[in-house]
């Protein structure tokens, strides 16, 4: 079985959300799985000397237009949440608690969190809301809330974020395909071609 695509993202990234709806189709087409790797962009901004996209003059306005346009093109429901961007530490910890206890639920969980935020406008910075969403996918709500408070889960998210930075990740979505880095939802076509050809 060839290695899965590694998919790094922050749950607050609109382009990460779009990628969450597109990347499995590409991976499956080439007989690959997807490894979902949430991390915290806030830590990356400090190292990379960048800011959230919408904080930039000019670029921020373009980005808002492009989020919606890219979603329409791909027929993905999208509405920029009123509270945006938000901290996603609870959502990301929840992911790593699942990875440790029920890894088969990770993809469904990640897609549900993303859709709750970017399609339904729910506040995923609130751990109670995140627990509600988790519960809707069949996860035990109380166990989830306890899980995200476990010290080893907190450490795990920090390790994953530090590891992302160490590998050069500076945005979301960010993919590695057999070690080759690709940044951006608009590079999924290139990922597809890389998988089809083995690179160029």
Q: Interface with a second copy by CB under 8 A: which residues?
A: 44, 47-51, 56-59, 61-62, 65-66, 69, 72-73, 165, 168-171, 181, 183-184, 186-187, 189-190, 193, 200
Cis peptide before 85 (omega within 30 of 0): yes
Of the two residues 10 and 107, which places its CB atom closer to a second copy in the complex? 10
Strand 5-9 to strand 174-177: parallel, antiparallel, or no bridges (unpaired)? antiparallel
Backbone angles phi, psi at 18, to 5 degrees: -60, -45
Q: Which is nearer to a second copy, 38 or 171 (CB)?
A: 171
CA neighbours closer than 13 Å in the CB half-sphere of residue 160: 25
Least distance between a second copy and beta carbon 39 (Å): 13
Please, which residue, 15 or 97, has the CB nearer to a second copy?
15
User: What is the phi-psi region of residue 58: left when phi exceeds 0, alpha when psi lies from -120 to 50, beta otherwise?
Assistant: left
Cβ proximity to a second copy, 66 vs 123, nearer residue: 66
Cα-Cα-Cα-Cα torsion 61, 64, 70, 75, nearest 10 degrees, comes to -150
Closer residue to a second copy, CB minimum distance, 103 or 168: 168
CA 105 to centroid of chain Cα atoms: 15
Minimum Å distance from CB 80 to a second copy?
17
In the bound complex, what is the minimum distance in angstroms from residue 112's beta carbon to a second copy?
27
Question: Residues for the chain: how many in total?
Answer: 200
Supply the minimum distance, in Å, between the C-beta of residue 61 and a second copy.
6
In the complex, least distance from residue 102 CB atom to a second copy, rounded to whole angstroms: 32
**Distance in Å, CB of 160 to a second copy, minimum:** 16
Cis amide linkage into residue 173, ω under 30° from 0? yes
- Dihedral pair phi/psi, residue 169, rounded to 5°: -70, 130
> Cβ closer to a second copy: 61 or 136?
61
């Amino acid at each position: 079985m060839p290695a899965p695509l590694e998919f790094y993202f922050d749950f607050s990234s609109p382009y990460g959300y779009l990628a969450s709806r597109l990347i499995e189709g590409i991976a499956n087409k080439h007989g690959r799985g997807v490894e979902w790797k949430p991390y915290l962009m806030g830590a990356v901004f400090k190292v990379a000397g960048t800011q959230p996209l919408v904080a930039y003059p000019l670029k921020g306005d373009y980005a808002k237009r492009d989020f919606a346009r890219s979603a329409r093109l791909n027929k993905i429901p999208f509405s920029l949440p009123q509270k945006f961007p938000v901290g996603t530490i609870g959502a990301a910890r929840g992911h790593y608690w699942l990875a440790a206890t029920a890894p088969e639920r990770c993809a469904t969980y990640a897609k549900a969190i993303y859709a709750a935020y970017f399609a339904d406008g729910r506040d995923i910075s609130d751990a109670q809301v995140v627990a509600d969403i988790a519960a809707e996918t069949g996860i035990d709500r109380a166990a989830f809330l306890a899980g995200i408070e476990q010290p080893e889960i907190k450490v795990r998210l920090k390790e994953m974020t530090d590891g992302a930075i160490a590998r050069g990740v500076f945005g979301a979505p960010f993919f590695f395909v057999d070690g080759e880095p690709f940044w951006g939802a608009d590079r999924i076509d290139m990922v597809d071609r890389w998988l089809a050809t083995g690179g160029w």
